[in-house]
Each structure stands twice: as C-alpha cells, then as structure tokens.
Amino acid sequence: MAMNDEETVALIAGGHAFGKSHGMVPAKEIGPPPEIAPMEAMCLGWHNPKGPGFAQYTMTNGIEGSWTPNPIQWDNSYLENLFKFEWEQTKSPAGALQWTPTDPNSPKTPDAHVEGQMNSLMMMTSDIALKVDPEYRKCCEKFLADFDAFTQAFSKAWYKLTHRDMGPKHRYLGPEVTIEDGLLWQDPLPERDYGLVGEAEVAALKEAIMATGLSVSDLAFTAFSAAATYRDSDKRGGANGGRLALAPQKDWAVNRRAAPVIEKLRDVMADFNAKQAAGKKISMADLIVLGGCAAVERAARDAGVEASVPFTPGRVDTTQKLTDVEMFEWLKPIVDGFRNYVDGNFKQVSQGVAPEEFFLDKANLMKLTAPEWTVLTGGLRVLNVNHDGSDIGVLTDKVGVLTNDFFVNLTDTDLIWEKCDEEGMSFALKDRGTGKTKFTATRNDLVFGSNSQLRSIADVHAGSDGHQRFIRDFIKAWDKVMMLDRYDVKGHRRYAPMAA
Ligand code: HEM
C-alpha cells in the first residue's frame, strides 16, 4: 500500500475509531468453509451454531470488542485511551489473545446488540504496537496533541488508500474527481503543452535514432524496460512519464543497460526539438518507445519481413520532483524473466518461489495471455534484451534479427538440455551426438519448453511455416505492452486531446 509510518498510524487510529471486532464463539464450533461444507449447505459455509448465529454471537476473526467508548463517532478516543491506560493480555470468548485496560474504572463501551450492556474497551496486539514501537509512538503523540492534524492526516491517507490502485488521474470519474490533485503517490504527469509529431516527423525521428548507431538490442531493451514497469494491479508504471530516466528506476541493476541509450536519445531529442516550428515536440518517453519500434521494424526487415510497428505519440516526461522515489523503490524487480534477470538477493527474498513463477506473475501484471507471453519472450530473446547483454537464453546465431530461432532451438529434439548447477538455475543445450554445448539458458527460458501449455505455443512458433505468424504475433504483443499505460488514448471520457 506504500504508506509511511504517519499514514499507517493515522489509518489504524482512525479506522479503529469505528466499529468492533467479533469473536464470541470458539473457532472449533464454527462449521467448515463453503468449499468443503456439505452440499445441502448450498454454499453457506462457516455455520455458527450459537443463538441465531449473528448479532451478539457474531464470530469472524475471534477477537471481541470495540476500541472506543463511542464507536459510531469520529474522535480521538482510540489514541487517548490507548495512551491513558495500561493494557494487559486477556482472552476473548473465542479464546483469541487481546488486550484489556488494567484499570477497572476505565471507560466502557456499549454492547452493539445487547441493550444496556457495557463492555470493557479492547485493543489488538497490532494496536498496542502503535504505543510501544518508538517510531509509531512519535506519530501517535503528534496526533494526540493535535486532533485536527490527526483528522487531516486520516482523510488524506484514506483518500490514498481508496484511490491508489486506480492509477493515473485520467481514470478518475465523478463530481469529486478534482478533490486532491498532483499528489506524489498519484505518479503525476505534467500537462502536455506542445503539439504532437505526425507521420513525417516520426519517420525522420526513426532515421535519426538508427543513425546514432544504437543497436537493435539496446533500443529494444530500453523501450521494453520502460513499458514493462506497468502493473495492472494498481495501474502504475509504464513508459509514460519517462521515469526510466529518473531515480530510482535508472539506478536499478536490471535497468542499467538503458542509461547510455537514453544519453544518446537525449541528443536526438534536443536536436529534433530545437528544429521544430509550430510548437511540436517529442518527449523522451515517446522517443524511448519509438526507438523500440524502429528496432523491431529493423529486426523484422533483417529477417526478410517488412512490418510496421504501431506508434502512438503523446507520452510526456515527468520530473524527479514529481516521482515518489521511496515508494517506487519497493517496485524494484527481484526477477524479470523478459530480460533474464534474477536479483543477487533472490534466495533470501524468494521464500522458495521459483524464478519462473515470478516471471508468470510479471506476465500477469502486464495483462499478457499465455500466447502473448510466449511470443514476446521468444522475440525478446533473439533481439537480446537480456539485462546484462549476455547470451544466456539467446538461442540464435543471428542476434538482433527477428527469427523464430528461440523456439526452433528450444524444441529441437536433436539437442538435449542439462543442468549446470545443483539447484537447476542454469542449463546447457548440448548436441545429442557430439555433446558440444550450443547454448546456455535459465529457468525463465526453459519454462517455455518444459511447461506443457507453454510448450504447445512454443511448438506453433517453432514450425517451419511459423515465421510470418511469429513476427505478426510478436509485434501485436509488443504494441500491447507499449500501450498498457496509455489511459489518455483509451477513450476515457476525461481525456481531451490537445489540438496539434
Ligand atoms: C494493522 C492494521 C490493522 C489490523 C491488524 C486490523 C485488524 C482488524 C480486525 C481483526 C478487525 C475485526 C474484524 C471483525 O471481527 O469483523 C478489524 C475491524 C475493523 N477495522 Fe481494522 N485493522 C487494521 C487497520 C485498519 C484500518 C487501516 C482501517 C480503516 C482505515 C480499519 C478499520 C476497521 C473497522 C472500521 C473495523 C470494524 C468493522 C466492524 O465494525 O465490523 N482497520 N480490524
């Protein structure tokens, strides 16, 4: 959720100003969940046998009680009582551990269901943590001393909590849409105040990019790295904003290969923008993507296929100041199978999850179907977009040419794969007859041959008649990735294109 300490305290103290926790019945008395309840339960699981099974007998997490004397009112009594009283560990009727004031004269709270019954206040261990943790305590003390600051902090954090997975502000709807704007967690993008490039300028820019001498691999790597930061879970990331050129993304090991490319693209951008009349400009964010388009077109041409890779201008460059460096840092990838990257700390942080499972998760975050994921990886491998430029998984002798070699070699039964290390993280592809190593690869390559569903897709692209289709499908998937974050052109009703 990317909340800092103050936001965390405000949310918990504010959230627990209201309502109650439910734990009146021992968990062992509650019936099985819907999936394993008897058929005649008709999907009504967790049968509660006590009383009517709800109201004062409600049982959810097992902890019982309210945090404040008036749990339907916005006030500061959660923090006031947390700090005013000592709390001792007790047990709820369900047997869960919770905390009760040691002072018998501490304020009581009305029972939610039984008229006239007053109960002791309650805290959970996570509530007590706000008092005993030195950093959280500082925030609590600030809010205790200033109710208005608490109210303000809660409302801001609540707004963030309930909107942060909506992505760019383009996506907000309704009359309250401008309630808070330009907040750092919204990953703000400046308004475009210049005209868009047209067909002629795009063609000229592509030529200028290729004339820099940047390789197909470098250009494809950079464009893909920018666009692949997109996460459909919270609609963040993507190429728009040009954040690949800013901290922290520019400093991540997985992205470092992009730095010299961006430097060269800066010259192209400066040169082009200096020459433009009529207020037209190209942004770095657009140029990075356009470089990728030019590279893929060149790679297809070198493979004997004339193809046009779609390009939709309109991305803008944001600034370092408008980038939430601390919270972006949490998005640093541990694994990026597309660029054959596995972090040095992988073992410590992966908790037994295999690299290819992280890769699947990444593909899912990028909204890719299994065929899109497969064709994209096969194409990226022959273009060599490995994060370090190494030849691992680059199953071709013609690097930078958009062939289906990755699939041909991956599925070739004249060749045999062997583990190169104990844990099975790297592999060698050897000639079955001579035993000579032809290629090396990682789990993130072999998964497309070893998993039966991915294998069937790989087999289609490996076919001798599969090349044209492979290029067509690759370009489609490539374009999809480049456009993942383009809410500004996805017909959203808040989007009003600028007059060129
Ligand atoms: C460390 C973080 C938190 C923990 C561990 C936590 C835990 C819980 C638990 C176990 C319950 C009881 C659920 C039930 O029995 O029905 C509860 C209830 C509740 N929580 Fe939290 N919570 C946390 C943060 C928050 C936040 C951030 C909010 C809102 C901003 C919030 C608002 C509420 C409310 C309103 C209830 C009462 C629900 C009702 O009356 O049925 N909590 N919390």
- How does DSSP assign 396-431, residue by residue? -SSTTS--SHHHHHHT-TTEEEEESSTTS-EEEEEE
- Indicate whether 490 pLDDT > 80: no
Nearest CA to ligand 1 atom 40: 19
Residue matched to tokens 């596995």: 342
CA of 332 to the centre of ligand 1 (A): 30
- Indicate whether 499 pLDDT > 50: no
* Residue 137 CB burial class (10 angstroms; 0-12, 13-18, ≥19): middle
179-196 tens-digit pLDDT? 677 799 999 999 999 999
The predicted structure's pLDDT at residue 493: 43
CA of 88 to the centre of ligand 1 (A): 20
Closest atom of ligand 1 to 71 CA is 40
Q: Which residues of 307-327 are buried (b: 16+ CB within 10 A; e: fewer)?
A: bebebebbbbbbeeebbbeeb
- Half-sphere exposure (CA, 13 Å, Cβ side) for 374? 24
The predicted structure's pLDDT at residue 181: 73
Give me the mean pLDDT over the 21-46 stretch. 94
Closest atom of ligand 1 to 20 CA is 40
468 with 146: CB under 8 angstroms?
Answer: no
139-153 tens-digit pLDDT? 999 999 999 999 999
Give me the mean pLDDT over the 151-165 stretch. 94
Residue closest to 214 by CA, chosen among 383, 361, 334: 383
Give me the mean pLDDT over the 242-269 stretch. 97
Residue, of 173 and 383, whose pLDDT is higher = 383
284 with 317: CB under 8 angstroms?
Answer: yes
Q: What are phi and psi of 341, to 5 degrees?
A: -115, 130
Q: What is the residue type of 261?
A: V
% of the chain surpassing 70 pLDDT: 98
Nearest CA to ligand 1 atom 17: 21
Strands (E), 300-432: 335-336, 341-342, 415-419, 426-431
CA of 206 to the centre of ligand 1 (A): 54
Count other Cβ atoms within 10 Å, centred on residue 398.
12
- pLDDT bracket for residue 178 (50, 70, 90): low
Domain 17-23+60-147 has CATH 1.10.420.10: yes
The fold for domain 199-330 equals: Peroxidase; domain 1 (1.10.520)
Distance between CA 386 and CA 380 in Å, rounded?
A: 8
SS3 (DSSP) at 366: coil
The residues, ordered by sequence, that sit 6+ positions from 315 with a Cβ below 8 Å of its Cβ are 239, 240, 241, 242, 283, 285, 286, 289, 486
* Residue 358 CB burial class (10 angstroms; 0-12, 13-18, ≥19): buried
Distance between CA 464 and CA 280 in Å, rounded?
A: 45
The predicted structure's pLDDT at residue 496: 43
The predicted structure's pLDDT at residue 278: 79
- pLDDT bracket for residue 491 (50, 70, 90): low
The predicted structure's pLDDT at residue 177: 72
CATH 1.10.520.10 residue spans of the chain: 199-330
Distance between CA 427 and CA 417 in Å, rounded?
A: 6
Token pair for residue 8? 């965390």
- Indicate whether 492 pLDDT > 60: no
Count other Cβ atoms within 10 Å, centred on residue 44.
10
Nearest CA to ligand 1 atom 9: 21
Q: What is the CATH code for 335-464?
A: 1.10.420.10
Closest atom of ligand 1 to 8 CA is 27
Closest atom of ligand 1 to 62 CA is 15
Nearest CA to ligand 1 atom 11: 21
The predicted structure's pLDDT at residue 498: 39
The predicted structure's pLDDT at residue 500: 38
447-482 tens-digit pLDDT? 999 999 999 999 999 998 989 999 999 999 999 999
Distance between CA 446 and CA 423 in Å, rounded?
A: 14
Give me the mean pLDDT over the 146-164 stretch. 95
Cα–Cα distances in angstroms (integers) from residue 86 to residues 122, 132, 138, 210, in the given order: 12, 11, 18, 70
CA of 78 to the centre of ligand 1 (A): 13
Give me the mean pLDDT over the 251-263 stretch. 97
Rounded to an integer, what is the distance from CA 435 to the centroid of its chain? 42
Closest atom of ligand 1 to 63 CA is 15
107-116 tens-digit pLDDT? 999 999 999 9
Give me the mean pLDDT over the 422-435 stretch. 94
342-390 tens-digit pLDDT? 998 898 889 999 999 999 999 999 999 999 999 999 999 999 999 999 9
Distance between CA 131 and CA 139 in Å, rounded?
A: 9
SS3 (DSSP) at 77: helix
CATH 1.10.420.10 residue spans of the chain: 17-23+60-147, 335-464
Which residues approach ligand 1 with their CB closer than 6 A? 11-12, 14-16, 18-22, 60-61, 63, 124, 126
- Half-sphere exposure (CA, 13 Å, Cβ side) for 326? 7
